[in-house]
Amino acid sequence: MIALIGLVKIELPGATVRLCDGGFVTFDGEVYRSADPVFGVIGSISPLTDGVGEEIPALEMVLLPAGDSAPAQLSQPGFQRSVVRFWVGEYDQDTGQLIGVPDLLFHGQIDVTTLRVGRAVRELAMTIVSTAERMFMRNEGNSLSPRWHKSVWPGEQGHDNAIGLTVPVSWGVESRPVASPSAGGSSGGSRLSDMQRLR
């Protein structure tokens, strides 16, 4: 008899977690088991949501960790951006062998891990996003700063003297008088002063 099986591979900095939704199976030379000694079993996997606009595809997977797993083992800042992959495949229930090659359903990365602990509750929630998230990362600080400029063009000093280019605006006090470039009258200066107050 042929049945479906789900496989999950989580590549963390210190370990690789390979889980399946029941029993054990060998895929690509690696054994996937229904339980991990530290991270436990799969509790639930939310449906994959499509991203719209600046959102990206994401899902949440909840693991039910082993009772003796330390919190520091389960949730660390270093887990962010660890690769997570999901497959679905067919296997023969009599032999326990996969039939063909499982289909890769989702290739993502961990965004956030949250350890939830309460009365009769101990679960690790992982928010997993598409690797397309990298396209939304902003390189803030990459504008006209000498440090960033030299990271691209080492030794180039073109931005070293590019300072003091903004017009100073005093907040909460009267603007300082500005001389008018026009030859006759002071109306130009007062208009310029009014414009500075509006900034």
pLDDT in tens, 34-63: 999 999 999 999 887 665 555 667 889 999
What is the Cβ-side half-sphere exposure of residue 132, based on CA atoms within 13 angstroms? Answer: 11
Q: What is the dihedral of CA 115, 7, 13, 123, to 10 degrees?
A: 10
Apex CA 30: angle with CA 25 and CA 35, to 5°? Answer: 55
Domain ranges across the chain: 2-136
Give me the sign of the Cα torsion angle 135, 136, 140, 143. positive
- Considering 131-135, 165-169, 192-196, the range whose residues carry the highest mean pLDDT is 131-135
3-state helix, strand, coil in the chain (%, to 5): 15, 40, 45
More confident residue, 50 or 95: 95
Q: Is the pTM of this model over 0.75?
A: no
Q: How far apart are CA 187 and CA 180, in angstroms?
A: 8
Cα 124 to Cα 84: distance, rounded to the nearest angstrom: 15
Q: Is the pLDDT of residue 178 over 70?
A: no
